[in-house]
Amino acid sequence: AHTVTEYDTIAAISTPIGEGAISIVRLSGEQSLTIANRIFKGKDLAQVASHTIQYGHIVDPETDEVIDEVMVSVMLAPKTFTREDVIEINCHGGLLATNRILQLLLANGARAAEPGEYTKRAFLNGRIDLTQAESVMDLIRAKTDKAMHVALNQLDGNLAHLIQNLRQEILQVLAQVEVNIDYPEYDEDELTTKMLLEKADIVDQAISELLKTAQQGKVLREGLATAIIGRPNVGKSSLLNYLLHEDKAIVTDVAGTTRDVIEEYVNINGVPLKLIDTAGIHHTEDKVEKIGVDRSRQALEAAELVLLVLNQSEALTPEDQELLTLTKAKKRIILLNKTDLPTALTKTMLQPYLHEGEQPLEISILTQLGTKALERRINALFFAGIETNQNTVMVTNARQIGLLRQAQQALNDVRQGIAAGMPVDLVQIDMTSCWDKLGEITGDSAPDELITQLFSQFCLGK
C-alpha cells in the first residue's frame, strides 16, 4: 500500500482503454492548470475563461517532441464534477499517445488516480452523496436503457432526497420526545409513545415501498441469472440463438478473469438476462451434446429464472418429468416448443406438474410463433406492479438494501419496546439507530473504511 495525500492533483485516462477514436486524460486538483501548462503548447490555460475548450499540442518539455494534437477543456472549481479545477485532454493519437500524455502528466507533478478517486472527491467535497456515487458506477455498468434511466435518476439525487426526508421525519419526533423527557410536567408517556408508533409506521411504510423495488433494481443492475434447460433436442440452442440475435446480445468479459470466461447478457424489453452456462448449450456440429439432468442441476442452482423447454411434438419423457419437478420451486417459464409440428403433449397432460395458475407458453422457435409473447412474459414477471419510468426511485444495490432492512429492524425494535412497556428513552435509542442506518445509505453517517472500500470498486478514471 502507498499513502495518498487527499487533494493532491490526480490524473488518469478516463475513457475505456482501447483503440477508440478519441480518448480523454483527466486531471483534477489545485495544480491541474500548472501541470497541464507544462506540457501544452497553445494558449496559456491559466489565462483562458473557465468551461472553454482550447486547441493545441502536447509537447514533451524535455525533448520538445510533439506527442499529439489535442483539444483541452478547462473547467475551474467549483462548477466541476469533483468541485476542484479539472482539465480534460481530448487526444486522438491512439493508445500509445494517450499513455504518453498520462506519463508526461505524472512526470510533471500529477499523481496517478486510484480507481473511483474522481467520484470519491466529488463525494468528499460534498458535491454528491453516496447513492449518487453508486449510480455513477451503475451508469458505467448499465446494461439496458432502463438500467441507465434508473441510474441517471439516482444520480439526480432522488433516492437521496427520499431518504433525507425520512430522516427529517425521525428527527422531528426525536426532538419532540426530547422535549417531553426534559419537561416532566408535560410528560404524558402515552402521548409520546403514540407519536413514536405513528412515526415508526410512516417510515416503515416508506421503506417497504422502496424495498419492493429492490428485486427489480438488482435485476436491472446485475442482470437476471437465467438458465435454459431441457433434455437434448427440445430446442435450447435454437432458443439461445434467438435470444442472442437481433441486437439483444450484450457480451461482456468478466472483469479480472481470462478470456474464456464470458458472460452473455441479453436485453429483453429492458430486462437484462444473464444467461447461465451457455457454453453447455452452444453447439458444435460434430459433437453430440449430452446436456442431461446433471448439467441442468448445476445451472439451476444459480438461476433466478428458469426457461424450461419441452418438445410438444413428443410425449413427456422421464427426463422431462424430472426437470419439471426439479424446477417447481423456481421462478420459471415452461415453453412448449415446436408448435409447428403435430401435438403429442398438451397443456392438460402437464397439469399435474404445474403450480396453481401456471401457464405454459406454446412456442415455435423455428417459425418464431410465440417468441414475442415469451419476451412479454419475462418482462411482466419482473415489472409487475412497478412503473419503471424515468422518475422511478429504485434501490439498486445490496448495500442500500441491507441498510434499509436494518433500519426497518430498528423500527420493529421501537414497536416491541413500546409494547413491552420499556422506558421512552430506551425506545428513543432504537429510533435513533433507524436514523443512523438511513444516514449510512446517503453517506451522512458512513464510516471511513466503508467509503474507501466502496470507491475502490470503481474502474480507473472515474
DSSP string, 118-185: HHHHHHHTTSS-HHHHHHHHHHHH--SHHHHHHHHHHHTTHHHHHHHHHHHHHHHHHHHHHHHHH-GG
Residue 341, SS3?
coil
Minimum gap (Å) between residue 254 Cβ and ligand GDP: 24
Q: Looking at beta carbons only, is 281 or 414 nearer to ligand GDP?
A: 281
**Candidate segments 68-76, 114-122, 247-255, 338-346, binder of ligand GDP by CB under 6 A:** 338-346
Q: Do you find a cis peptide bond into 115, omega within 30 degrees of 0?
A: no
Count Cα neighbours of 105 within 13 Å in the Cβ-side half-sphere: 29
254 known member of a binding site: yes
Read off the amino acid at residue 385.
G
Q: Which of 236, 332, 399, 437 binds ligand GDP (CB under 6 A)?
A: 236
Minimum gap (Å) between residue 229 Cβ and ligand GDP: 9
Grid cell in block for residue 100: 504518453
234 known member of a binding site: yes
Residue 49: how many other CB atoms lie within 10 Å: 7
Burial of 241 (0-12, 13-18, 19+ CB in 10 A): middle
Distance from C-alpha of 388 to C-alpha of 54, rounded to nearest angstrom = 41
Residue 14 contacts ligand GDP per CB under 6 A: no
Question: Can you tell me which residue has the cell 481530448?
Answer: 90
Residue 398: how many other CB atoms lie within 10 Å: 12
Residue 29 contacts ligand GDP per CB under 6 A: no
Distance from C-alpha of 389 to C-alpha of 257, rounded to nearest angstrom = 35
**Which of the residues 234 through 253 are near Zn ion (CB under 5 A)?**
236-237
Q: Which of 98, 158, 237, 267 binds ligand GDP (CB under 6 A)?
A: 237
Residue 147 contacts ligand GDP per CB under 6 A: no
Minimum gap (Å) between residue 118 Cβ and Zn ion: 46
Complete edge-to-edge strand list for the sheet that includes strand 224-229 = 249-253, 262-268, 271-275, 224-229, 305-311, 332-337, 361-362
Q: Which of 29, 116, 223, 230 binds ligand GDP (CB under 6 A)?
A: 230
Question: Can you tell me which residue has the cell 443492475?
Answer: 221
**Candidate segments 218-226, 335-343, 403-411, 441-449, binder of ligand GDP by CB under 6 A:** 335-343
The one of ligand GDP, Zn ion, none whose footprint includes residue 70, by CB under 5 to 8 A per kind, is none
Residue 388 contacts Zn ion per CB under 5 A: no
Residue 296 contacts ligand GDP per CB under 6 A: no
Instruction: Output the known binding site for K(+).
Output: 233, 252, 254, 257
**Residues at the site binding Zn ion, with contacts judged by CB under 5 A:** 236-237
**Residues at the site binding ligand GDP, with contacts judged by CB under 6 A:** 230, 232-238, 281, 337-338, 340-341, 364-366
Instruction: Output the known binding site for (6S)-5-formyl-5,6,7,8-tetrahydrofolate.
Output: 26, 88, 127, 462
